[in-house]
Amino acid sequence: MTKILIRGAKVLGGEVQDVLIDGETIEATARQGEIDISGTDPDAEGITVIEAAGQILLPGLVDLHTHLREPGREDSETVLTGTRAAASGGYTSVFAMANTFPVADTAGVVEQVYRLGQEHGYCDVQPIGAVTVGLEGKKLAELGAMHESAAGVTVFSDDGKCVDDAVIMRRALEYVKAFGGVVAQHAQEPRLTEGAQMNEGVVSAELGLGGWPAVAEESIIARDVLLAEHVGSRVHICHLSTAGSVEIVRWAKSRGIDVTAEVTPHHLLLTDELVRSYNPVYKVNPPLRTERDVMALREALADGTIDIVATDHAPHPHEDKDCEWAAAAMGMVGLETALSVVQHTMVDTGLLDWAGVADRMSFKPAKIGRATGHGRPVSAGEPANLTLVDPAYRGLVDPAGFASRSRNTPYEGRELPGRVTHTFLRGRATLMDGKLA
């Protein structure tokens, strides 16, 4: 088994350290130069040396909200192409949403996805189980069977749809509490968003497009944090998109309610002004909101009201986006640009330091999803799940170079900072010098 010496990186953006990987674990970390391999021929000794001066070494990123599309929509993405995209973006673990075809609402389907992840190995794939049968919101799925399965499901979500029936949501919270599971709610009151095409506001009025009112998200979040308090369980809120949602989560946390929340990279950067272009790449659920919402989300991620960044990586083939706005599919790819968008919106603006990025994109998502071995400290004895980032890089986003099967990125042609140079999954480089293994 070769050893890998990562020399001269700033660990978590702090002091410069050398990190020695032996097999699947970190053997040692020490101040620059204190791990001495001088006098030995690295190749002869089977030691690969990575000169990482100026780079940041983070724990491997964890995405709690990824759509891998397999089974059923392999034209958009597969577990192979999606996990290659994840490794390109610095991820060592992703949680795969259940809105596949068939829906991941049985032990059989979640085990199929889990096995595909093991087979391809670009990152760990943790299937998310549907809360209700067929994502229909009417009957609880086999939550226990999915948890007991080889996939060991702990996160349950009907993402794409809302668990809008309060009794069903209460029973789901009660059921998963028994084994420490968590329900991740896609907060969208369905009747308030019938025919919705974009954020309800000034722009939707001017364009004459059906509005997706903030209250359709906020009313569900308000209900669910109270249900979680009533049941005495935890609850996770997917893709917060409004300032009002931030206030409700902040209030719930101040009451001691065990709620966690995520924000996507696109909701940290983009607003509904982009819809004026009628370019369907900007069509997403929940929709892009206003500048005021963007700023509230950034502040909330900085102060910890929002716990994590989750990509909501939603790949769609060209034909599902290359059509008029009303008919276009909703969603954006995000795995390969997430860290750059977070650096641009949070680090380069002084709202978060790199230790904060590690917290929001690795430590906390791993904790919420119980991703064993991920989100661990960069220290001796820990699994070598690591991401090396060159923060000084600047480049234009070119989807032609994406590992994802899909190209529906809202950042095409935009200059973003930062580049993941290496990703290590238990000591094995899945990305080496920017190239997938």
Ligand X SMILES: NC(=O)N[C@@H](CC(=O)O)C(=O)O
At 229, list the tokens. 């308090």
- CB of residue 210 to ligand X, shortest distance in Å: 15
DSSP label of 427 = T
> In the complex with ligand X, which residue's Cβ is closer, 78 or 99?
99
Question: If binding is defined by CB under 6 A, does position 99 make contact with ligand X?
Answer: yes
Residue 67 in marked binding region = yes
- CB of residue 367 to ligand X, shortest distance in Å: 23
Residue 22 in marked binding region = no
What is the rounded CA–CA span in Å between residue 83 and residue 127?
Answer: 13
In which residue are the tokens 């809360």 written? 131
Q: Write the DSSP assignment of 107-144 as a string of letters.
A: HHHHHHHHHHHHHH-SSEEEEPBPSBGGG-SSSB--HH
Residue 312 in marked binding region = yes
C-alpha torsion sign, points 264, 269, 271, 277: negative
The span from the first CA to the last CA of the chain, in angstroms, equals: 17
Residue 398 in marked binding region = no
Residue 313 in marked binding region = no
- Residue whose C-beta lies closest to ligand X: 331
Question: If binding is defined by CB under 6 A, does position 159 make contact with ligand X?
Answer: yes
Residue 320 near residue 329, CB atoms below 8 Å: yes
> In the complex with ligand X, which residue's Cβ is closer, 330 or 355?
330
- CB of residue 238 to ligand X, shortest distance in Å: 8
Task: Please choose, from the candidates 125, 126, 50, 123, the residue with its C-alpha nearest in 3D space to the C-alpha of residue 87.
Answer: 123
Question: If binding is defined by CB under 6 A, does position 366 make contact with ligand X?
Answer: no
- CB of residue 316 to ligand X, shortest distance in Å: 7
Return the SS3 of 61. strand
Residue 65 in marked binding region = yes
Is 224 catalytic? The answer is no
In which residue are the tokens 């008029």 written? 324
Window 257-286: residues binding ligand X (CB under 6 A): 284-285
Residue 186 in marked binding region = yes
Which residue among 67, 170, 360, 376 contacts ligand X (CB under 6 A)?
A: 67
Would strands 259-263 and 3-11 be described as parallel, antiparallel, or unpaired? unpaired
Name residue 145's amino acid.
A
- CB burial of 255-274 (b: ≥16 within 10 Å; e: otherwise) equals eebbbbbbbbbbbbbbbbeb
Which residue among 8, 13, 127, 160 contacts ligand X (CB under 6 A)?
A: 160
Question: If binding is defined by CB under 6 A, does position 154 make contact with ligand X?
Answer: no
Strand boundaries in 191-317, DSSP class E:
198-199, 211-212, 235-237, 259-263, 308-309
What is the rounded CA–CA span in Å between residue 241 and residue 262?
Answer: 9
C-alpha torsion sign, points 143, 148, 150, 153: positive
Question: If binding is defined by CB under 6 A, does position 331 make contact with ligand X?
Answer: yes
Residue 408 in marked binding region = no
Name residue 204's amino acid.
S
Question: If binding is defined by CB under 6 A, does position 89 make contact with ligand X?
Answer: no
Residue 328 near residue 346, CB atoms below 8 Å: no
- CB of residue 319 to ligand X, shortest distance in Å: 15
What is the rounded CA–CA span in Å between residue 20 and residue 5?
Answer: 4
> In the complex with ligand X, which residue's Cβ is closer, 365 or 373?
365
Question: If binding is defined by CB under 6 A, does position 157 make contact with ligand X?
Answer: no
> In the complex with ligand X, which residue's Cβ is closer, 314 or 420?
314
How long a stretch of residues is the chain? 437
CB neighbour list of residue 193: distance below 8 Å, 6 or more residues apart: 212, 213, 216
- CB of residue 96 to ligand X, shortest distance in Å: 11
Residue 68 in marked binding region = yes
> In the complex with ligand X, which residue's Cβ is closer, 257 or 284?
284
- CB burial of 186-199 (b: ≥16 within 10 Å; e: otherwise) equals bbbbeebbeebbbb
Question: If binding is defined by CB under 6 A, does position 312 make contact with ligand X?
Answer: yes
Contact code string over 111-150 relative to ligand X, x by CB under 6 A = ----------------------------------------
Residue 390 in marked binding region = no
Q: Which of 18, 105, 312, 320 is labelled catalytic?
A: 312
At 211, list the tokens. 């509005």
> In the complex with ligand X, which residue's Cβ is closer, 153 or 314?
314
- CB of residue 134 to ligand X, shortest distance in Å: 15
At 275, list the tokens. 């819809």
Window 162-221: residues binding ligand X (CB under 6 A): 186
- CB of residue 321 to ligand X, shortest distance in Å: 11
Residues that bind ligand X (rule: CB under 6 A) add up to a total of 11
Residues serving a catalytic function are 312
Binding site for ligand X (CB under 6 A): 67, 99, 159-160, 186, 284-285, 312, 314, 330-331
Residue set of the binding site for Zn(2+): 65, 67, 159, 186, 239, 312
Residue set of the binding site: 65, 67-69, 99, 159, 186, 239, 285, 312, 316
